[in-house]
Structure 1
Amino acid sequence: MSDWTAGYIADIGYTFGYYSELNPLRVKLAFLSAGLAYPEMGNACELGFGQGMSANLHAAASVTQWHGTDFNPSQAGFAQELAGISGGGAKLFDEAFADFAARSDLPEFDYIGLHGIWSWISDENRGVIVEFIRRKLKVGGVLYISYNTQPGWASFAPIRHLMTEHAEIIGAEGNGIVSRINGALDFTEKLLATQPMYARANPQIAERIQKIKEQNRHYLAHEYFNRDWLPMHFATMAEWLEPAKLSFACSAHYMDHIDAINLTAEQQQFLAEIPDAMFKETTRDFMVNQQFRRDYWVRGPRKLSKLAQAEQARQLRVLLVQHRADVSLKVTGNLGEATMQDHVYAPILNTMADHQIISLGQIEQATGLALSQILQAALVLIGGGSVVAVQDDAHIAKAKKACEKLNHYLCNQARGSHDISHLASPVSGGGISIGRFQQLFLLARSQGKKHPAEWAQFAWQILAMQNQTLVKEGQTLETEEDNLAELNRQAQTFSEKQLSIFKALGIAG
């Protein structure tokens, strides 16, 4: 492997994933829930942006000026292409962290984001990143960082080490990383079949290997097979970030804010008696067996008064992005599945059922519920994907053109691939999940086709040219009639249920 990779997997591209936690707009609700002031996001930076989907969707869908780097030139090239198409202004580079940090043309940032990359790089690069944050993150600025953590990885880390050793020693270099991953998984499965004492002490390992075998090999290559791989305790992360003068703000994973679905009453009481906030966070990781943390850190936290917190919370705007009847009242936390309180959630959802932008203050007036109940419901509903936060009208208007350009290009890409499953929303300031066929239906509409049957026929012509067919309930549809029937069903559902929502999100005209 070439020296420029520094031990990082570079012979296979990362997935085209989008990570909503990187959207700066999400900071507002999390910070208000924690009683903290949040900055306006003028300049933002993503380090290790992969294929650049998050950076480009956020740049197109907001007025925030994005910068970023990813040292893989193939990935950076694709990301730069998207930036040019949208005109969103993202300035994206293919430089190593040290080279990027040395640039003289970078502004100070209100927001810096790293998704996952921290766990897969060397201590040398971690040091470069911390120094970059120290120099470039503004006072009051926010760092989003997600990383593999302990104790959740404690039982699986030895197997991960075994798999990477197999890929390095036994796997043939010339066969490529996918072949070596498959070989390592097969070897591990055969080892576990011998009932080693390790497997007896960790009975959940076999099931986890089975789940891993079903995952995308591009994802597995980057998640497990880099030379540098380190799940880090929360307290260790705090030590790393101390030179940058960062304080832990709160979790970026909204569901973490809801103690009732994650901690027993006894655990909540136990944590409440711990006086040190940082040690409390470490202890909580043991209670939930934390494996992956998604956190906000801030350079100079400022507490809001109760009055300011309430006033700012009332101004937050949201939008329901599912049909009212389709919103599940079930929510899953560390304790398992729980049912949301109908007397709280029903009036909130009924108030939002017309898919119009509404503030939390307006919901408060319409329902008579306490603001604290509405704030918690917003965390749950946004965290579950039923609702999105909404940016200012002026920002929505400025972002529309770039979103239209980017979305048209992405929908065109859906003709030949299902790799990309998000489009840009000027309303949410970020990405919205939308499948390949739905993208093709939007493309058909943009070409003047008005009826669901026309959209289905348009999609089928594209698939048939490539000898592609649909899969329904695990079965491949063989005939043209069956494929068209399924596409017609999906197009009709899209017309009746989804199109109005995509219009509300500014994705469909």
Structure 2
Amino acid sequence: MTDWTSGYVADIGYTFGYYHELNPLRLRLAFLNAGVTPPETNVACELGFGQGMSINLHAAASVTQWYGTDFNPSQAAFAQELALVSNAGAQIFDEGFAEFCNRKDLPEFDYIGLHGIWSWISDENRSIIVDFFRRKLKVGGVLYLSYNTQPGWASMVPMRHLLTEHAEVMAAPGRGIISRVDAAMEFAEKLLATNPLYLRANPQVAQRIKSMKAQDRSYLAHEYFNRDWHPMPFAEMAEWLAPAKLNFACSGHYLSHVNGVNLTGDQQAFLNDIPDPMFRETVRDFMVNQQFRRDYWVRGLRRLSNVERIEAIRRQKVILILARTALSLTAVGALGEAKMHDNIYSPILDVLTDHRVHTIGHIEQAVAKDCLKLAHILEALMLLIDKGAVAAVQEDQVIENAKLQTDRLNLHLMNKCKGSSDISYLASPVTGGGVGVARSEQLFLLAALNGRKQPSEWAQFVWEIFAAQGQSIVVDGKALPTAEANIAKLTKDATAFALQQLPILKSLQIA
């Protein structure tokens, strides 16, 4: 019988995650920072969309026409449900790469995104996908591709093989993937407890196994237990993409753009002496022990003049999407934790703290009295975007056109939160993508939409939902014992939500 899974874990669904890097709007500032011409994105595609949260949030929150596929029919069915609700026109398929990539009815794309797919598929599927890039990515179009890479994964490769072999060889017949994952993790711990020479040569593996045990089992199954798993060095990735005429543009990981938190002065000088930009990326991966790359590639890279670059940066709109009181002014790069200088960040945040839309040019004018230059502002915004505190903003007409779509989708997602905490994002027409909103906060919004006006009424609304399912609020690992205690905690949370988060969600046109 044909194995339609192609060796990929399919007996358990993927998590309902959302990935900001897949938002085409996000690439603009990264390109401008790198001096590369950003494209307009009218038609986009996501390959391997999992549960379809990203493709649907991006389709609903923009005017971009989206296409995508995921071979898992249950995941594709959920994604199609969301697409029908938003009525944003996303074309969702449940086809494998070979079938989808050879469809005759697909347009050419301005943007193609794959998040975490490349490392878990066969060389045969990689060849199919590269040919798809060659035929279907427009000249000037952008590919976003994230993948496991070396040298950061080098020490873990043998352990990963051991885990998957245990799951295949030692598991009792009929045991599900979650049971096999747990058994393999337990076996790995017992092995490491014997202090093998492998552990002595690779002591970091013990910490990785420990951190894995704390992670969601669905995530672990998809991350580590597929038949194919290949951390690929950057140079090898470049060789794979060469037939599609793709050039590396820049990292999609905003933190990687800030050398000061990732590289020492000596390392920066060493890299600057390497004339070949591709080899420079390879060497940089050794310096930061890179294990996961998030990269933009372009078919026909064009450089901006310095004048064009600065003018485009100044026109870019941004908004603060996190309460300032919740923002920690630290950044964790390859060199460890670094303090973000208050004399730079405070003036910028003073401008943004109204949670309104501002152009970078307006910020530049407002902080000129603080002797901050455009370069300071741009680096600060790159770090703030990486921290999820700031987001790029779409044009007014796009926001207006997308608003009805996001309203429909968000109402559907909030209603799903009545019975599950799986989904923790809603769509913003302002940012063109998803914004993190916890289950209780979504239910507070739903209460308001159902005519409850005060935080105390929102709390009662949420408690009625929880109580009907035998659920309680958990504080410090313990469920609150009485209805009164639960309602009191929910009222406190709802009051804080009304004061802090609700005004931000209104600015993002979610509430």
* TM-score w.r.t. length of structure 1: 0.99
Matched, 1:372 2:375: yes
Q: What is the percent sequence identity of the aligned residues?
A: 63
Q: 2:412 aligns with which of 393, 396, 409?
A: 409
Q: How does 1:325-404 map to 2 (within 5 A)?
A: 325-368=325-368, 369-404=372-407
Please give the per-residue CA displacement for 1:226-271, whole angstroms capped at 9, x wherever unaligned.
0010000000000000000000000000000000000011110110
Partners of 1:476 and 1:338 in 2: CA distance:
37
Structure 1 residue aligned with 2:273: 273
**SS of 1:4's equivalent?**
coil
Instruction: Say how many residue pairs are matched.
Output: 508
Q: CA deviation at 1:122?
A: 0.2
Q: Tell whether the 8 Å contact from 1:145 to 1:294 is kept in structure 2 after alignment.
A: yes
Structure 2 residue aligned with 1:110: 110
Structure 2 residue aligned with 1:465: 468
Q: Which amino acid aligns with 1:471?
A: V
Partners of 2:234 and 2:47 in 1: CA distance:
20
Matched, 1:298 2:298: yes
Matched, 1:264 2:264: yes
Q: Which amino acid aligns with 1:154?
A: A
Q: CA deviation at 1:102?
A: 1.1
Please give the per-residue CA displacement for 1:280-334, whole angstroms capped at 9, x wherever unaligned.
0000000000000000000011000000000000000011112233322111111
Partners of 2:322 and 2:209 in 1: CA distance:
34
Partners of 1:20 and 1:479 in 2: CA distance:
39
Please give the per-residue CA displacement for 1:75-131, whole angstroms capped at 9, x wherever unaligned.
000000100000111101000111101111111000000000100000000000000
Runs of 4 or more off by more than 3 Å in structure 1?
Answer: none
Q: Tell whether the 8 Å contact from 1:255 to 1:383 is kept in structure 2 after alignment.
A: yes
Q: Which amino acid aligns with 1:276?
A: D
Structure 2 residue aligned with 1:130: 130
Partners of 1:172 and 1:294 in 2: CA distance:
38
Matched, 1:482 2:485: yes
The unaligned stretches of length 5 or more in structure 1 are: none
Structure 1 residue aligned with 2:310: 310
Q: CA deviation at 1:2?
A: 6.0
**SS of 2:176's equivalent?**
helix
Partners of 2:301 and 2:319 in 1: CA distance:
29
Partners of 2:485 and 2:290 in 1: CA distance:
45
Q: Which amino acid aligns with 2:98?
A: A
Q: Which amino acid aligns with 2:421?
A: H
Q: Which amino acid aligns with 2:374?
A: L
Structure 2 residue aligned with 1:214: 214
**SS of 1:432's equivalent?**
strand
Q: CA deviation at 1:173?
A: 3.9
Q: Tell whether the 8 Å contact from 1:319 to 1:356 is kept in structure 2 after alignment.
A: yes
- Segment of structure 1 superposing worse, 247-256 or 481-490: 481-490
**SS of 1:111's equivalent?**
strand
Structure 2 residue aligned with 1:254: 254
Q: Which amino acid aligns with 1:133?
A: F
Partners of 1:225 and 1:418 in 2: CA distance:
25
Partners of 1:137 and 1:286 in 2: CA distance:
31
Q: Which amino acid aligns with 2:281?
A: E
Structure 2 residue aligned with 1:32: 32
* TM-score w.r.t. length of structure 2: 0.98
Q: 1:443 aligns with which of 443, 446, 451?
A: 446
Q: Which amino acid aligns with 2:156?
A: F
Matched, 1:503 2:485: no
Matched, 1:6 2:6: yes
Structure 1 residue aligned with 2:459: 456
The unaligned stretches of length 5 or more in structure 2 are: none
**SS of 1:160's equivalent?**
helix
Q: Which amino acid aligns with 2:3?
A: D
Partners of 2:348 and 2:173 in 1: CA distance:
57
Structure 1 residue aligned with 2:197: 197
**SS of 2:182's equivalent?**
helix
Structure 2 residue aligned with 1:57: 57
Q: Tell whether the 8 Å contact from 1:324 to 1:350 is kept in structure 2 after alignment.
A: no
Cα RMSD after superposing both structures? 0.9
- Segment of structure 1 superposing worse, 415-424 or 204-213: 204-213
Structure 1 residue aligned with 2:497: 494
Q: Which amino acid aligns with 1:440?
A: L
Partners of 1:323 and 1:345 in 2: CA distance:
14
Q: CA deviation at 1:474?
A: 2.4
